Amino acid sequence: MELQNKKNIAKNIFFDILCFTLGGILYGISVSVFSEPNQIAPGGVTGISIILNSLIHTPVGIMALILNVPLIIWAIIELGYKLVVKTIFAIILTSISIDVIAMFIPPYQGDKMLVAIFAGITEGAGLALIFIRGGTTGGTDTAARLLGRRFPYFSMGRLMMFIDLCVVVISAIVFKSVESAMYAVIVIFVATRLIDAVLYGTDIGTGKMLFIMSQKSQEISQAIISQMSRGVTILKSKGAYTGKEGDVLLCAVRKYEVYRLTQLIKEIDIDAFIIIGDAGQINGEGFKENGKEEKTLKDIIKNRKRKE
């Protein structure tokens, strides 16, 4: 059993490093080959770094790393150091990739529409690979993930788009080019749509349903609620063979959250029995609400105040 656990840990670490490396390279290509050479600042910390690069000629990757420090501190306070380790690793990797790729791959400065489309594709694919393994690259995606804990009605892609648009407006002023800002919007749109498609699927209401059987059901349920901001239903059960009564935990999550949830469960009880199934459609808070308009930020804040 112990040997198998070590193999699983090694396997997970391998796939973490693989996805983070590929994601970092793709993200670096997006910035160094497409966005930065064409003065397109597609939002977030990287967008701010591109703007600063045009003003004071600082390397984009190094500046992004420096600007991410306050967000890392915020993430540690909100999530705890253990859950931010992957993000710190991803931030360092992507920051290095941006500057290293700039030295070896020549920039593309052809058709601006092609620049915007491919910048969005490479950025979205790179970030999605990192998100799938439970990390972020700091900047907008870290802020979006932290805000998503408080406002689950908004998908991560939409939260990122809102934050990024603020940076785009600043870039239009600094670059003195409305056209540059318009292309940045295209980059953001393509990237966020690709991220949502990979993480949430084509239907944002779909997800995974987990049945969890463990002797430490109370600890697991509290961890899911506090660390993942997901609800848990406790079902009473009785073993057919043993006749023992116990609890079965029912939890619905997004597809990309399954890996993180199973890891969380294993940390508490390595012997926990987990059944994972597809949920064709999930209606309710944090998922999809049919027949209702998506709530505005103002409505969500009002509802939270009422609950408090």
- Same structural domain for residues 152 and 248? no
- For 176-218, the pLDDT digits (tens) are 889 999 999 999 889 988 887 777 665 555 678 899 999 899 9
- For 53-105, the pLDDT digits (tens) are 999 989 999 999 999 988 888 778 776 676 678 888 889 999 999 999 999 99
Q: Are 218 and 178 in contact (CB under 8 A)?
A: no
Q: What's the structural domain count of the chain?
A: 2
- Same structural domain for residues 11 and 158? yes
- Same structural domain for residues 48 and 6? yes
pLDDT of residue 305: 47
| Residues spanned by the domain of 268 | 207-279
236 DSSP β-pair partners: 247
Question: To the nearest whole percent, how much of the chain has pLDDT over 90?
Answer: 38
143 pLDDT tier (thresholds 50, 70, 90): confident
307 falls within a domain: no
Reading the block at residue 258, the tokens are: 């399954």
- Same structural domain for residues 44 and 122? yes
- Same structural domain for residues 141 and 169? yes
305 falls within a domain: no
Tokens 């420096």 locate to 66
- Same structural domain for residues 83 and 184? yes
Reading the block at residue 62, the tokens are: 């190094």
Q: Which of 200, 232, 257 is the last residue of a domain?
A: 200
- Same structural domain for residues 24 and 109? yes
Q: Are 61 and 99 in contact (CB under 8 A)?
A: yes
129 falls within a domain: yes
Q: Which of 170, 200, 230 is the last residue of a domain?
A: 200
Q: How far apart are CA 87 and CA 138, in angstroms?
A: 7
pLDDT of residue 229: 79
